Structure 1
Amino acid sequence: MRIMRPALALVLAGVLSATAACGDDGSGKQGDTTGAKLTMFAFSSSPAEDAVLRKAIDDYNKQGRNTVDLKVLPEYDTALTTALAGGQPPDVFYLNDNKLPDLGKSGALEPTGDQVDNPGDFYDTLKQSFTYQGTYYCAPKDFSTLQLVYNTADFEAAGLKPPTTWEELATTAKALTKPGHPGLVLAPEFYRWGAFFAQAGAWPTDDGVTKMTMDTQPMRDALQYLTDNHKAGSFGTPAAVGAGWGGEAFGKGLTSMTVEGNWIVGAMKNDFPNIKYGVAELPAGPKGKGTMSFSVCYGVAKASKSKAAAVDLVKFLTSPDEQLTITKEFPVMPSRKSLADKWLTDKPELKAFVAGGDYAKKSVFVPGFSTVIDTFNDGIQGLAKGNKSVDDVVSSTQKAGGSVLG
């Protein structure tokens, strides 16, 4: 899975001082675009993805402008945090969207988002995910959205079609439920339930993340809808059916539907190749369609001594041809809107994931907000288990957020 939520409490008390110690003039123009020796940090979900990235870097190196030393790291967050805090960061590095606010605040990033070719071609939600206090820091390399994944054999046997509304989802889940087999399994956490909040026109904060907005009727309606269906047994959690995540529950036949991102495609291919499934856009709620997006960008270190060359590398990796090549063999989607149709040419069954890019909510808040999400997740788990009330969750999350946002 590509959703990474690294702990950032330690991040970089020394980043600002380490950055300053490198003699950066703040111009972002240090160095030529050629002849540099760059270091790039990355992570990978599989050996196949690792190979594709290494080929992309090899192709760049063969152009003769600069030389890139690519390091694909298993303990990625620890390595990146250590390098940034130590004042010797990689020139270019993968950066998860939910980590952006902390690094933006710390001063560790050089703003390069608008320096790539045709920056307006990227999905607006993704650009917002990598913007902190009005500064667009880095170009997104790809993205994922949440949608409804369903077992086609189970649907055919029951004479069902993919649901398009909340009411239809509830009745469909009920029809597919049997002992030990809830019709829908989804993880009890904000990063899954949040799609339903968006569909209800609710969100934990206002758009500017300046105040909490938990105590609203749309939020209560969304929480109550999910709670009621869990109480009825039609919705379930992965743990309740003995699975680690929704994809495992789905692949093992412990449910007929799940809410997951396009990372599930690789898991199904590798672990459950015999399961036939379809992907549909999540059912619309009271305020229409809604989902969440998750992304990674190419960050450039403020302390890099070869920023111009680093930007040259990012331009190469985010170019239409290269981005299409990198994402062609994987379910992650190109972050350029213009590539959607080409990407779908040999994978039309994934159209719903791409469609979500037009209306997805970013899952990024502000530095320190992870503690609020932790409180919210604790409440969501209580709702799924039936030992907390909607009022409890609204109140506790509103209070936790108030202590962070002021």
Structure 2
Amino acid sequence: MLRKKWIATLGISALLVGGVLSGCSKDTKESTGKVDEGKKVEVTLAGWGSSPEEADLLSQVLKDFEAKHPNIKVKHEVIADQYMDVVKTRLIGGEGPDVFYLDAVEAPALIETGVVEPLNDYVKDDFDLEDFEKPLIEAFQKDGKYYGFPKGYSTLALFYNKQMLSNAGVEVPTTWDELREVSKKLTDGTNVYGFGQNPELARTYFIAEALGGKVVEDNKANFAEPKVVEALKPYVDQHLIEKTAAQPSDVGADWTGEMFGQGKAAMVIEGNWTIPYLDSTFPNIEYGMAEVPTIDGKKGTMAFTVAYVMNAATEKKEAAWELISYLTGKEGMETWTSKGFELPSRKSVAENLGYDKDELRGALVAGAPYATVWSNGTNLPIIFNNFNNQFVSAYLGQANLADALTEAEKTANKEIEKQ
């Protein structure tokens, strides 16, 4: 979800808009997609692949939906590779799915093309919009219109090795300054680092804005501004100067979850997906979770979310909405999130499942109301690619942080202007 390739050009946007107009040119009666009794409607649902356990859960939810809606059959299509490219190609060709997954980071650009159906007119009072975590639902809004409803999410939280903290005689840090100090006591040369880091914008966005700076301003890169550089400097210094933090490749790991599980890092900031990974791959590790330490007295974390959206050109709008409303409604969402692979974007469902008070997931749920969603305007893919390229060079000590971010900002904005 965090690293999908985004290919968005003006030409593709124009073709997508053309595809919508073409798809909607049929007569009104046919395009309303009325669900008539005695006549079965097939709705196509497209998404990317998941674990066998998640696939089984979704299958169960769809069976429950069909049982309650006997006149609607769901055809589930899994797009294993290049998901967004495939979906866009199908939308251009007028063969797009009726309902499909849309990642928040990709939502603004796709919504801009007009291929996603606004859902305000479908929503009834009993759908309970207020039940959704506010930052998550706002990620799929534009000009007061809802274009999708989040099927689930994960924030980031602090994972800590209980035994390592106990041996070092330190408490779980609650502020970033404490995290840096605790990291010094937890670090053992290059054998164990106090803190495992992810030097990329998807994980540091909230840090970059912690002192009041803005990474994105007017849909352009703005991350070279002094407040952003100042906020990111301690993160880089912990790696370069204090030597109490490392990235996964420094210790031969693929990601911080593996780094943590191997005992190469005493603390990492990771998401909900790390829990089943640790439980299955490193079952003997004793760990706890806490909210991300505050920066300058403010709470912060990231949120990653995906919505169910409707193809604006579908001729089965009523049936498509019935599916979306069930999948993102309280009953369907409770089944889908019951195993904890994804957290429910509805507050009531999180409470019903006990996630808000869970020893581990409680920290993730607590972060949802104040999280920075990984989504900001149509140009974020260009912005984060350029940020990552230069930020890594500063993180490795190959360039001054301010200079690196200035160069990255200039390059990003030039690419944006050329679109």
Normalising by the smaller structure, the TM-score range is over 0.9
User: Relative to structure 1, is the Cα distance of residues 156 and 287 closer, same or farther in structure 2, using a 3 angstrom cutoff?
Assistant: closer
1:220 aligned to 2:221?
no
State the SS of the aligned residue for 1:148: strand
CA offsets 1:73-124 (integer angstroms, 9 cap, x no match): 3223343233222211110111111111121122111112673411222112
Matched, 1:369 2:371: no
What does residue 191 of structure 1 align with? 202
Q: Which residue of 2 aligns with 1:271?
A: 281
Contact map agreement 1:128 1:362 (CA 8 A) in 2: no
* Partner Cα distance (1:213, 1:83) in 2: 34
TM-score by length of 2: 0.90
Instruction: For structure 1, list consecutive stretches of 5 or more residues without a partner in the other structure.
Output: none
Q: 1:200 is paired with a residue of what secondary structure?
A: coil
Aligned counterparts of 1:199 and 1:305: Cα–Cα separation in 2: 46
8 Å contact 1:12–1:81 — kept in the other structure? no
Q: Deviations over 1:126-149 (max 9, x none)?
A: 122112455321011101111111
Deviation at 1:299, TM superposition (A): 1.1
Count matched residues. Answer: 403
Q: How does 1:305-316 map to 2 (within 5 A)?
A: 305-316=315-326
Aligned residues: CA RMSD:
2.3
**Contact kept? 1:236, 1:384, Cα under 8 Å:** no
CA positional deviation for 1:355: 0.7
* Match for residue 87 of structure 2 among 80, 88, 111: 80
**CA, structure 1 residues 302+366, in 2 after alignment: closer, same or farther (shift >3 Å)?**
same
Identity of aligned residues (%): 31
Q: Which residue of 2 aligns with 1:230?
A: 239
Q: In structure 1, which of residues 279, 285, 299 is the aligned counterpart of residue 309 of structure 2?
A: 299
- Paired residues of 1:127 and 1:140 also in contact (CA < 8 A): yes
Q: TM-score scaled to structure 1, two decimals?
A: 0.92
- Determine the C-alpha separation between the residues in 2 that align with 1:189 and 1:165: 21
| Distance verdict in 2 for CA 1:133–1:378, change over 3 Å | farther
- Partner of 1:103, secondary structure, is helix
What is the distance in 2 between the residues matched to 1:157 and 1:281?
A: 22
CA contact under 8 A between 2:219 and 2:377: conserved in structure 1? no
Q: What runs of 5+ residues in structure 2 fail to find an aligned partner?
A: none
Pair 1:340 & 2:350 matched: yes
One-letter identity of the residue aligned with 1:344: G
CA distance in 1, matches of 2:331, 2:104: 23
Contact 2:155-2:304 within 8 A present in 1 as well:
yes
**Counterparts in 2 of 1:23 and 1:273: CA distance versus 1, 3 Å:** same
Instruction: Give the letter for the 1:242 counterpart.
Output: G
Distance 2:378 2:52 in 1: 33
The answer on whether the counterparts of 2:219 and 2:378 sit within 8 Å (CA) in structure 1 is no
- In the TM superposition, residue 62 of structure 1 has moved relative to its aligned partner by 2.0
Query: 182, 186, 197: which is aligned to 1:176?
Result: 186
Q: Where does residue 128 of structure 1 map in the other structure?
A: 138
Q: Look up the match of 1:392.
A: 403
Secondary structure in structure 1 of the residue aligned to 2:210: helix
The match for 2:54 among 40, 49, 54 is: 49
Q: Out of 233-242 and 14-23, give the one that drifted further.
A: 14-23
Determine whether 1:258 maps to 2:263: no
